[in-house]
């Protein structure tokens, strides 16, 4: 019997024989069926792999377009910007022209890794006094007071100018067609829309509830106003947003709604090339974004897991999960204390990544869960970070030349500020909610400042500098948590990319609260509860745990192997 299980196409033969044994009362039937299942299906999706190029994104239409761009001679950046534009149409509640974007780029010729910060700033009028006069004692999560300048368009354009081979107009054309002609609404989109579309302003409801009712599966969703906006951008370039007609319309709309943005704030915007953070992890170089994003929490968590030696604990055991959860709390305490716009604050990045400091932080982990964790550096000031619901899209591409792009973009919460500018069809982000009104905090709102950002793109090379992998996910504050778990799945437990993505995981919130998937064994969950963790158990494949994506270069064959998360609409293609 065992030899029947060695090849997947023998699976059904195995089941037939097992069924015959069951009818005959064979004593080991259950073991045979279990063995057949485990040998055939370590995960529920097939892995897409190829020898030349690969793309993964948050929607099948975007993924297909990205692959087509590369098959027609474009490179990874061309594919990334094309996918990014399409995702603004087909995942409109998660990202858009009215949002922000970040990218990390690997150049195969030079081995250079560069990073592009496309986050927008507050306006010249943004101040504590402005909010006091508006009668606000904290920045609201919705409405015009939460809207910062959208930076995505500047990021798309700058990425193509530096690393791309096709024009800005060419990259936008597929998105224009989907916005104009429409696309079929998926069951996932219906579920995502059903609880939030009624919170939109009237312009938003006219687009996303065209008959006054939530969209139905298979219905065609069109946004002709967005199509025209994208066409204007294709014709006029980013100046249409930053000083031109589109920016003017948004500025006038925001002023009417009581926000602080004005046309000059759009004119002053630019995306910026920055040096990524670089950290060694298990013989790899992990590149992550510096502040103003939370991404520094990724190398902090990874290094602490090494110092805690979690790779030698059993996968998803009580010890393993307890340490990862407590390490997250330590990293996030420092994140909440320090992360802000580095143009305004001197952030102690080197101190936060210092090996002695992180070892000392790990030594603070006790046998039971800690409810309150203080920052470890200058802990005289703390801040509760506004957390959106993780409505973000991730995408990644590796081309035939070996160049790679890791890209993330978002409008923060579902449908961002809940405001849609009626003439442009743009959903406006609520990234301004990432600021605080707490006086003297590094992340205090000030004029022309970038807020704390949850967006966290990353890329991995070996120590020689050759490309090794990209991992990424939407999920707000869960992003670095999910990446830590998947990177250990890949490198500590040697899972395939798809298996690493699908393995059950947790998400730690404030205090003792932890969300956890039910596929983590009941006895493990009981042991964690005995350690004071307050667990909420989720059945099935829920977006609470993000939407992980992976492209990984096989160390032996050089093939590009992918992972695409069934928890959302992630889709992978390779050739």
Same domain, residue pair 398 and 504: no
Q: Is residue 5 scored above 70 in pLDDT?
A: no
Residue of 392, 471, 480, 562 marked active site: 392
pLDDT computed for residue 347 by the predictor = 95
Q: Are 19 and 32 in contact (CB under 8 A)?
A: no
Work out the average pLDDT over 435-450: 95
| Domain CATH code at residue 461 | 1.10.246.130
pLDDT computed for residue 66 by the predictor = 98
Q: Is residue 403 scored above 90 in pLDDT?
A: yes
d(C-alpha 157, C-alpha 240), whole Å:
12
DSSP string, 150-170: --HHHHHHHHHHHH-SS-HHH
Same domain, residue pair 254 and 394: yes
> Domain range for residue 21?
2-40
Three-state SS string across 52-81, please? CCEEEECCHHHHHHHHHHHHCCCCHHHHHH
Same domain, residue pair 158 and 16: no
Percent of the chain, pLDDT > 90?
87
d(C-alpha 535, C-alpha 287), whole Å:
32
d(C-alpha 228, C-alpha 147), whole Å:
22
379 domain-assigned = yes
- pLDDT confidence of 43, banded at 50, 70, 90? low
Total length of the chain: 575
Q: Is residue 40 scored above 50 in pLDDT?
A: no
Q: Is residue 199 scored above 70 in pLDDT?
A: yes
d(C-alpha 46, C-alpha 419), whole Å:
39
Q: Are 93 and 192 in contact (CB under 8 A)?
A: yes
Q: Is residue 361 scored above 70 in pLDDT?
A: yes
Please write the tens of the pLDDT for every residue from 86-134: 999 999 999 999 999 999 999 999 999 999 999 999 999 999 999 999 9
pLDDT computed for residue 386 by the predictor = 55
Same domain, residue pair 254 and 295: no
Same domain, residue pair 31 and 97: no
Question: 180 to each of 183, 228, 423, 555, how far by Cα in Å?
Answer: 9, 8, 15, 43
Q: Name the more confident of 510 and 29.
A: 510
Please write the tens of the pLDDT for every residue from 290-343: 999 999 999 999 999 999 999 999 999 999 999 999 999 999 999 999 999 999
Same domain, residue pair 92 and 192: yes
- pLDDT confidence of 39, banded at 50, 70, 90? very low
- pLDDT confidence of 384, banded at 50, 70, 90? low
pLDDT computed for residue 34 by the predictor = 46
Same domain, residue pair 30 and 58: no
Question: The tokens of 514 are what?
Answer: 């932890």
Helix (H, G, I), strand (E, B) or coil at 266: helix
Question: 432 to each of 123, 310, 332, how far by Cα in Å?
Answer: 10, 37, 20
Tell me which of 377, 402, 434 is where a domain ends: 434
pLDDT computed for residue 44 by the predictor = 81
How many domains does one find in the chain?
Answer: 3
Mean per-residue pLDDT of the chain: 92
pLDDT computed for residue 195 by the predictor = 80
Q: Is residue 513 scored above 50 in pLDDT?
A: yes
pLDDT computed for residue 13 by the predictor = 39
Cβ-in-10-Å burial (0-12, 13-18, 19+) of 355 comes to exposed
Same domain, residue pair 199 and 265: yes
pLDDT computed for residue 10 by the predictor = 42
Please write the tens of the pLDDT for every residue from 516-540: 999 999 999 999 999 999 999 999 9
Q: Is residue 551 scored above 60 in pLDDT?
A: yes
Catalytic residue check, 392:
yes
pLDDT computed for residue 379 by the predictor = 55
pLDDT computed for residue 377 by the predictor = 86
What phi and psi, each to the nearest 5 degrees, are found at residue 74? -75, 165
46 domain-assigned = no
47 domain-assigned = no
- pLDDT confidence of 380, banded at 50, 70, 90? low
Please write the tens of the pLDDT for every residue from 482-504: 999 999 999 999 999 999 999 99
d(C-alpha 498, C-alpha 471), whole Å:
12
447 domain-assigned = no
Q: Which of 488, 102, 117, 41 is nearest to 271 (CA)?
A: 117
């Amino acid at each position: 019997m065992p030899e029947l299980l060695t090849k997947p196409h023998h699976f059904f033969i195995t089941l037939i024989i097992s069924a015959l044994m069951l009818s005959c009362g064979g004593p080991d039937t259950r073991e045979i069926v279990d063995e057949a299942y485990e040998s055939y299906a370590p995960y529920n999706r097939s892995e897409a792999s190829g020898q030349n190029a690969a793309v993964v994104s948050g929607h099948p239409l975007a993924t297909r377009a990205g692959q087509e761009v590369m098959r027609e001679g474009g490179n990874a950046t061309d594919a990334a910007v094309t996918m990014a534009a399409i995702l603004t149409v087909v995942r409109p509640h998660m990202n858009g022209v009215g949002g922000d974007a970040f990218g990390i780029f690997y150049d195969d010729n030079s081995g250079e890794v560069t990073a592009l910060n496309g986050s927008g700033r507050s306006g010249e009028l943004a101040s504590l006094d402005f909010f006091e006069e508006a009668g606000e004692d904290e920045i609201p999560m919705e409405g015009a007071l939460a809207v910062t300048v959208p930076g995505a368009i500047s990021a798309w354009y700058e990425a193509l100018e530096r690393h791309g081979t096709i024009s800005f107009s060419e990259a936008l054309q597929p998105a224009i067609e989907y916005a104009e002609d429409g696309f079929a609404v998926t069951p996932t989109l219906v579920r995502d829309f059903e609880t939030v579309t009624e919170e939109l302003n009237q312009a938003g409801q006219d687009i996303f509830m065209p008959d006054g009712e939530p969209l139905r599966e298979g219905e065609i969703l069109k946004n002709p106003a967005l199509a025209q906006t994208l066409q204007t951008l294709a014709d006029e370039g980013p100046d249409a947003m930053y000083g031109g007609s589109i920016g003017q319309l948004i500025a006038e709309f925001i002023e009417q709604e009581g926000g602080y943005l004005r046309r000059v704030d759009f004119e002053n915007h630019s995306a910026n090339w920055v040096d990524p953070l670089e950290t060694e992890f298990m013989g790899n170089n992990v590149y992550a974004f510096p502040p103003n994003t939370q991404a520094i929490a990724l190398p902090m968590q990874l290094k602490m897991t090494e110092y805690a030696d979690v790779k030698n604990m059993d996968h998803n055991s009580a010890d393993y999960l307890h340490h990862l959860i407590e390490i997250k709390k330590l990293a996030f305490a420092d994140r909440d204390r320090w992360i802000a716009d580095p143009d305004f604050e001197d952030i102690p990045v080197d101190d936060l990544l210092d090996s002695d400091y992180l070892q000392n932080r790990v030594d603070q982990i006790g046998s039971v869960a800690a409810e309150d964790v203080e920052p470890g550096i200058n802990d005289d000031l703390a801040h509760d970070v506004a957390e959106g619901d993780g409505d973000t899209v991730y995408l990644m591409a590796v081309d035939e030349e070996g160049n790679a792009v890791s890209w993330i973009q978002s409008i923060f919460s579902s449908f961002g500020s809940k405001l849609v500018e009626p003439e442009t069809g743009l959903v406006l982000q609520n990234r301004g909610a990432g600021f605080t009104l707490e006086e003297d905090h590094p992340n205090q709102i000030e004029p022309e400042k970038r807020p704390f950002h949850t967006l966290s793109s990353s890329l991995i090379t070996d120590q020689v500098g050759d490309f090794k992998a990209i991992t990424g996910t939407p999920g707000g504050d869960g992003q670095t948590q999910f990446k830590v778990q998947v990177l250990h799945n890949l490198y500590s437990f040697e899972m395939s990319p798809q298996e690493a993505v699908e393995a059950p995981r947790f998400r730690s919130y404030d205090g003792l609260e932890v969300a956890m998937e039910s596929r983590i064994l009941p006895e493990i969950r009981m042991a964690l509860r005995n350690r004071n963790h307050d667990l909420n158990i989720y059945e099935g494949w829920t977006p609470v745990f993000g939407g992980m994506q992976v492209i990984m270069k096989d160390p032996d064959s050089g093939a590009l192997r992918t992972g695409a998360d069934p928890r959302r609409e992630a889709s992978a293609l390779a050739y």
